[in-house]
Amino acid sequence: MTNAYTTDTIIAQYCHFGWGENRLGVPNYPETCAKLALAYMEDRPKTKAFDVGCAIGRSSFELAREFDEVIGVDFSARFIQEALRLKESGVLRYAMPEEGEIESFHEVRLNKFGLEHASKKVNFWQADACNLKPIFTGFDLVFAGNLIDRLYDPRKFLNSMAPRIHKGGLLILTSPYTWQEESTPKEKWIGGYKRDGENVTTLQGLEEILGGDFKLLDTRDIPFVIQETARKHQHTIAQMSVWERK
């Protein structure tokens, strides 16, 4: 049923994170990240973009405003299911917890965002970022939003990036660097630990891993909000790092 409301709490949270507004007045995060990515592309080719960890697809659709083709992948088949539903029907409906068992109902329409034409240029696939198939290659931009600190082997993911990106293309990462052992075994953390008594930040770890194939162009902080109920919000700050393929 295309008119059913998604009631799964986590799915609804990410629908709202991707397509809703928050009462804290923080700009929509996937939209902000995609706009910045397009600005960083400047006059580089915008033929093909790869959105890794795309969730419900907002950043993929936004990138398709200027790219000829965008592929969005996520580990969650449920997220991809919702993104595909939005691509195919142009409509997404979800119910957000307000308080207790009271819910609010939300409807997203691509045409209200001016994205109805972008849907023809976007495709979504379920995939494991640490084990991506060779077909995912030939990109001018790879965007990985809030991904690396949730992977079981972030180094493996990062090491697989250079062959997938054209020379001069960009790899753009965002993350709040909230390393936790439930997502990433401690020995796989690329930052947020001590080595020989010295602090190793995630940005330092990224430079060690990516420095051979990429040049760091810029970093900036970007806030985001995940709403849990009408009055409970997670307010977080991610760091964006922008890397150019040598």
CATH code of the domain in which 76 resides: 3.40.50.150
Q: Which amino acid is present at 156? A: K
Does 2 map to a domain? no
Does 210 map to a domain? yes
- The size of the chain, in residues, is 246
pLDDT score, position 4: 64
Does 61 map to a domain? yes
pLDDT score, position 54: 98
Does 14 map to a domain? yes
Does 195 map to a domain? yes
Tens of each residue's pLDDT in the chain, 246 residues:
344 666 688 999 999 999 999 989 999 999 999 999 999 999 999 999 999 999 999 999 999 999 999 999 999 999 999 999 999 999 999 999 999 999 999 999 999 999 999 999 999 999 999 999 999 999 999 999 999 999 999 999 999 999 999 999 999 999 999 999 999 999 999 999 999 999 999 999 999 999 999 999 999 999 999 999 999 999 999 999 999 999
56: its two tokens: 């419900």
Which range marks the domain in which residue 119 is found?
A: 9-245
The secondary structure element, H or E, covering residue 38 is: helix 29-41
Backbone angles phi, psi at 217, to 5 degrees: -95, -35
Q: How many domains does the chain have?
A: 1
SS3 sequence, 86-153?
HHHHCEEEEEEEEECCEEEEEEEEHHHHCCCCHHHHEEEEECCHHHCCCCCCCEEEEEEECCHHHCCC
Does 144 map to a domain? yes
Angle at 200 between CA 197 and CA 206, to 5 degrees: 155
> How many Å apart are CA 19 and CA 79, to the nearest integer?
13
pLDDT score, position 6: 64
Q: Are 12 and 55 in contact (CB under 8 A)?
A: no
- The Cβ-side half-sphere exposure at 82, using a 13 Å CA radius, reads 29
Instruction: From 78, 88, 82, select the one nearest 4 (Cα to Cα).
Output: 82
